[in-house]
């Protein structure tokens, strides 16, 4: 495993831990991840916007061949989630105990993503779990 | 911005060369590049003014920047500028597009375009990490996604939208293996049955091992020339690279390859042809589903029709798709794939293929970088 630089992950902590996107102050279009310029109206005035942490699953795939740092976590479930405000994102789906169907209600949780074992950098970020998994 | 008026030179292919895709453990990346480029130069009988070098992984794999310059040094081409082009596994196509424009504009009369990649120079456990670099580093790869995951979500949408079963998708794979078995230069030369495909291990549901094109080391090259200056036997009627530049999660429809559709619309118009004029095509099937979506987005058949048609033999008779076996059977040579495809179409149009193929007049090449981030389509004609 290669040694990784912490700032690369630290600077996007608002995105990884709270799903902070941006909203175009001109036309109102919302983006996640944040963009510098609105692809819809061309405005460069964007303000941060914390997105909903609830949504539903559009589609998911169970990945069995994973990049080396994820070897201990396999298989990974990767899915497309549509948040309540219509924003779609690609994310890991966890606590699924097997099959996870399109249309499943999901909510955001912050989890460990992977660990750089040799140097100790632990990476965290959003994942989604079915709402029924909450106890 | 208005377009500048350019000299409108005609572009043709004067010669091609390729290394048989494989596990070339005994070869350096530059020696593969040299073999392909020198074969193309010898076949054309001319020397290029400049060389465009396409690759997806050469810097990461060989820990070498300025790779093209060092390769030229090894070839004794001390005055030849090497221009490095990168668009992931669509590097070959993008290099072709740039070289095409450079000849068309009159800047150069003769250009070598070469693609090289050596994925087997890295340990197999690191391969998925390397491939994940095709995705968004902070928001896709960070969470463990690899291109196979996205291809799987696209396959899931496609199968559900058009009412197919996974067995229908397996027919594409069977077709590619069948064609690859007739190509002595293919990396995978064994036939496969639907049973083999559906019983192979799941890689990313619903996709299985057989849906994924095997990566192979390789290099391929073409010599692109101004047809007024050099005799060529295949005309490059048009080339265009089109972007999608839309993150995967933002896309409206996962069953369309937007960049492919855009590029094909432009090249057909530039070449003055309709999709129905296309006789042969090599399409970028790094995953079975990409091949299916490609033939549809290229307009070679109706939307949702590809899997029904592959079963009927439509792509073996009406329009000949991936007679080489595609990336699936000839091997996925990553950034070199676009050049391999060009070599195949050149050979198919000129009757030089090592496999049997019915002669056709018009061929197209489709090469895609990443999961529908950028696509290049080229229209070639027999002279």
Query: How does pLDDT run along chain A (135 residues), one tens digit per residue?
Result: 467 788 888 999 999 999 999 999 999 999 999 999 999 999 999 999 999 999 999 999 999 999 999 999 999 999 999 999 899 999 999 999 777 899 999 999 999 999 876 777 899 999 999 997 555
On the question of a cis peptide bond just before residue A33, with omega within 30 degrees of 0, the verdict is yes
Q: What is the pLDDT of residue B122?
A: 93
Q: pTM for this one?
A: 0.96
Residue B364 has pLDDT above 90, yes or no: yes
Say if residues B283 and B291 touch (Cβ distance below 8 Å).
yes
Say if residues B216 and B22 touch (Cβ distance below 8 Å).
yes
| Mean pLDDT over each residue of chain B, to the nearest integer | 96
- Cα–Cα separations (whole angstroms), residue B320 to B59, B248, B309: 35, 30, 12
DSSP state of B90: T
Confidence of residue B142 (pLDDT cuts 50, 70, 90): very high
Strand partners, A61: A78
Q: What is the pLDDT of residue A99?
A: 74
Q: What is the pLDDT of residue A132?
A: 75
Using left for φ > 0, alpha for ψ between -120 and 50, and beta otherwise, residue B117 falls in beta
Task: State how far the Cα of B305 lies from the Cα of B309, in Å rounded to an integer.
Answer: 6
Nearest Cα residue to B141 out of B124, B158, B128, B122: B128
Nearest Cα residue to A26 out of A39, A17, A14: A39
Q: For residue range B144-189, list pLDDT tens digits in order.
A: 999 999 999 999 999 999 999 999 999 999 999 999 999 999 999 9
Confidence of residue B8 (pLDDT cuts 50, 70, 90): confident
Task: State how far the Cα of B107 lies from the Cα of B215, in Å rounded to an integer.
Answer: 35
Confidence of residue B270 (pLDDT cuts 50, 70, 90): very high
Of B132, B206, B248, Cβ closest to residue A90 = B248
Q: What is the pLDDT of residue A134?
A: 52
Q: How many CB pairs under 8 A join A and B?
A: 91
Q: For residue range B36-60, list pLDDT tens digits in order.
A: 999 999 999 999 999 999 999 999 9
From chain A, the residues in CB contact with B142 under 8 A are 113, 123, 125
Give the mean pLDDT of B220-239.
96
- Cα–Cα separations (whole angstroms), residue A113 to A37, A91, B142, B162: 29, 11, 8, 35
From chain B, the residues in CB contact with A78 under 8 A are 143-145, 149, 153, 204
From chain A, the residues in CB contact with B134 under 8 A are none
Q: Is A86 an interface residue toward B (CB < 8 Å)?
A: no
What's the token pair of residue B214?
């095997």
Of A65, A114, A123, Cβ closest to residue B128 = A65
From chain A, the residues in CB contact with B153 under 8 A are 59-61, 78-80
On the question of a cis peptide bond just before residue B289, with omega within 30 degrees of 0, the verdict is no
Q: Is A36 an interface residue toward B (CB < 8 Å)?
A: no
Q: Please answer yes or no on whether A70 and B144 come within 8 Å at the CB atom.
A: yes
What is the residue-wise DSSP string for B99-129?
Answer: HHHHHHTTS-SEEEEEEEE-GGGS-GGGHHH
Confidence of residue B135 (pLDDT cuts 50, 70, 90): very high
Distance from CA of A12 to the nearest CA of B (A): 8
Q: Please answer yes or no on whether A70 and B202 come within 8 Å at the CB atom.
A: no
Residue B90 has pLDDT above 70, yes or no: yes
Confidence of residue B251 (pLDDT cuts 50, 70, 90): very high
Q: Is A66 an interface residue toward B (CB < 8 Å)?
A: yes
Nearest Cα residue to B95 out of B156, B142, B48: B48
What's the token pair of residue B45?
């009988």
Of A33, A64, A91, Cβ closest to residue B202 = A64
What is the residue-wise DSSP string for B68-81?
Answer: HHHHHHHTT-TTPE
Task: State how far the Cα of B266 lies from the Cα of B100, in Å rounded to an integer.
Answer: 15
From chain A, the residues in CB contact with B139 under 8 A are 15, 33, 89-90
Q: What is the pLDDT of residue A8?
A: 87
Task: State how far the Cα of B363 lies from the Cα of B382, in Å rounded to an integer.
Answer: 8
């Amino acid at each position: 495993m290669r040694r990784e630089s912490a700032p690369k992950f630290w600077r996007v902590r608002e995105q990884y831990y709270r799903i902070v996107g941006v909203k175009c102050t001109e036309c109102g279009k919302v983006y996640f991840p944040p963009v510098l310029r609105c692809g819809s109206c061309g405005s460069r005035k964007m303000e941060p916007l914390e997105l909903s942490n609830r949504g539903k699953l559009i589609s998911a795939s169970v990945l069995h061949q994973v990049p080396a740092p994820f070897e201990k976590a396999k298989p990974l479930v990767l899915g497309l989630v549509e948040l309540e405000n219509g924003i779609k994102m690609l994310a890991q789906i966890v606590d699924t105990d097997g099959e996870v169907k399109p249309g499943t209600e999901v909510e955001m949780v912050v989890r460990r993503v992977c660990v750089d074992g040799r140097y100790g950098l632990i990476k965290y970020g959003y994942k989604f779990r079915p709402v029924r998994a909450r106890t | 911005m208005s377009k500048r008026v350019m000299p409108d030179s005609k572009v043709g292919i004067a010669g091609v060369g390729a290394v048989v895709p494989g596990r070339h453990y005994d070869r350096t990346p530059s020696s593969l590049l040299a073999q392909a480029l020198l074969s193309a130069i010898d076949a054309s009988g001319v020397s290029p003014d400049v060389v465009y070098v396409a690759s997806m992984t050469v810097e990461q794999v060989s820990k070498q920047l300025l790779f093209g310059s060092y390769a030229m040094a090894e070839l004794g081409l001390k005055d030849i500028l090497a221009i490095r082009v990168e668009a992931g596994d669509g590097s070959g196509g993008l290099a072709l597009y740039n070289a095409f424009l450079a000849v068309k504009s009159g800047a150069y009369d003769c250009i070598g375009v070469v693609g090289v990649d050596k994925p087997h120079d890295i340990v197999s456990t690191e391969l998925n990490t390397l491939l994940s670099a095709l995705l968004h580093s902070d928001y896709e790869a960070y969470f463990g996604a690899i291109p196979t995951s996205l291809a799987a979500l696209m396959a899931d949408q496609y199968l559900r939208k058009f009412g197919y079963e996974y067995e229908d998708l397996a027919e594409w794979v069977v077709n590619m293996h069948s064609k690859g078995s007739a190509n002595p230069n293919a990396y995978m030369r064994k036939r496969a049955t639907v049973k083999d495909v559906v019983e192979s291990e799941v890689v990313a549901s619903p996709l299985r091992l057989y849906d994924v094109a095997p990566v192979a080391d390789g290099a391929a090259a073409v010599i692109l020339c101004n047809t007024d200056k050099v005799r060529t036997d295949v005309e490059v009627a048009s080339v265009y690279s089109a972007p999608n530049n839309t993150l995967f999660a933002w896309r409206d429809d996962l069953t369309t390859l937007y960049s492919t559709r855009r590029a094909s619309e432009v090249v057909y118009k530039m070449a003055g042809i309709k999709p129905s004029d296309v006789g042969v095509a090599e399409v970028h099937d790094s995953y079975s589903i990409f091949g299916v979506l490609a033939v549809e987005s290229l307009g070679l058949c109706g939307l949702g029709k590809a899997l029904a048609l592959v079963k009927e033999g439509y792509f073996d008779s009406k329009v000949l798709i991936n007679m080489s076996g595609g990336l699936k059977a000839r091997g996925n040579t990553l950034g070199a794939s676009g050049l391999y495809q060009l070599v195949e179409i050149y050979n198919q149009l000129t009757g030089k293929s090592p496999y049997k193929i019915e002669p056709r007049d018009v061929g197209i090449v489709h090469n895609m970088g990443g999961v529908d981030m950028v696509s290049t389509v080229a229209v070639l004609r027999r002279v």
